[in-house]
């Protein structure tokens, strides 16, 4: 409807389908694409009007049936028997029509989705490892540049645990800030894409918390070695470091 009327309310206005004029009486909620069909690019017309004015037929070529969860096979058997009885056909003539079970397509889409999820998970895992290595290198450089500071802190009474926690907190905060920045960028891109392309997007709070939490965990894990290295520095050797 946005392609035809923009942001105006189309209810009560007219559109032309196959040179026939129709009045818009309502708008369906956004459904999004389902496989090869886009539920938002459909126009629903009364059955008799569609047969007479649009298609010029007196029969229905296809029927879509919505089935409750777990009753797909029973419904398919019932529809097959009903079609045979209505058209006075034998079971050998069942190939005169076709019943398409969407569960097969759902299984295929589920398998494809699982494969894509695994691939995206692998890419995300590699990204986390690369990012963690980057954080570890930064923290190692930080330890090297602040060796005299570490020696001074330990000389005036700082314990190994205190130095260890200091660098662990720094690495986790660094990683956490990167995670927050990445989540903010992802949300911004999703909002822009949904506005420009008209796609329905959903941002899960659980996904945001999971992403930020993983960022903090990566910072702690990859910052552990630099923090341990800093905590084990000898105060005398650290103060002599130039």
pLDDT 10s digit of each residue in the chain, 242 long? Answer: 677 777 788 888 888 888 888 888 888 877 766 555 666 778 888 888 888 888 878 877 778 787 777 677 788 888 888 888 887 877 777 777 777 777 777 778 788 888 888 898 888 888 888 888 888 888 888 888 888 888 888 788 878 888 888 888 888 888 888 888 888 888 888 888 888 876 777 778 888 888 888 888 888 888 888 888 888 877 777 666 65
In this structure, the answer to whether residues 200 and 171 fall within a common structural domain is: yes
Report DSSP state, residue 87. Answer: T
In this structure, the answer to whether residues 49 and 81 fall within a common structural domain is: no
> Given this model, what pLDDT does residue 39 score?
66
Domain limit, last residue, from 42, 61, 80? 61
The count of structural domains within the chain is 3
> Given this model, what pLDDT does residue 36 score?
57
Residue 117 belongs to domain spanning: 68-123
In this structure, the answer to whether residues 152 and 204 fall within a common structural domain is: yes
In this structure, the answer to whether residues 47 and 96 fall within a common structural domain is: no
Q: 199 near 205, Cβ under 8 Å?
A: no
In this structure, the answer to whether residues 77 and 18 fall within a common structural domain is: no
In this structure, the answer to whether residues 97 and 193 fall within a common structural domain is: no
Domain limit, last residue, from 78, 102, 123? 123
In this structure, the answer to whether residues 146 and 118 fall within a common structural domain is: no
Spell out the long-range contacts of 162-165 with Cβ–Cβ below 8 A and sequence spacing 24 or more.
163/227, 163/230, 163/231, 163/233, 164/227, 164/228, 164/230, 164/231, 165/227
Model's pTM, two decimal places? Answer: 0.54
In this structure, the answer to whether residues 19 and 47 fall within a common structural domain is: yes
In this structure, the answer to whether residues 57 and 73 fall within a common structural domain is: no
In this structure, the answer to whether residues 174 and 144 fall within a common structural domain is: yes
In this structure, the answer to whether residues 53 and 72 fall within a common structural domain is: no
């Amino acid at each position: 409807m946005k392609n035809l009327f923009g942001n105006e309310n189309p209810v009560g206005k007219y559109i032309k389908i196959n040179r026939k004029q129709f009045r818009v009486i309502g708008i369906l909620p956004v459904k999004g694409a389902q496989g090869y069909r886009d539920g938002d690019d459909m126009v629903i017309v009364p059955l008799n009007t569609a047969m007479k004015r649009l298609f010029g037929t007196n029969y229905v070529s296809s029927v879509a049936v919505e089935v409750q969860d777990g009753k797909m096979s029973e419904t398919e058997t019932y529809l097959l028997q009903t079609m045979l009885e209505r058209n006075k056909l034998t079971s050998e003539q069942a190939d005169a029509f076709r019943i398409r079970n969407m569960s097969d397509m759902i299984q295929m889409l589920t398998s494809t989705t699982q494969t894509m999820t695994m691939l995206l998970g692998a890419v995300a895992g590699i990204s986390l490892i690369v990012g963690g290595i980057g954080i570890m290198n930064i923290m190692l450089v930080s330890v090297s540049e602040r060796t005299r500071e570490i020696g001074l802190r330990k000389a005036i009474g700082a314990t190994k645990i205190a130095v260890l926690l200091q660098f662990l907190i720094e690495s986790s905060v660094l990683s956490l800030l990167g995670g927050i920045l990445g989540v903010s960028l992802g949300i911004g891109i999703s909002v822009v894409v949904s506005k420009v392309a008209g796609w329905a997007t959903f941002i899960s709070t659980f996904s945001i918390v999971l992403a930020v939490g993983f960022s903090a965990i990566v910072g702690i894990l990859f910052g552990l070695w630099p923090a341990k290295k800093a905590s084990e520095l000898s105060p005398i050797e650290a103060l002599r470091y130039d």
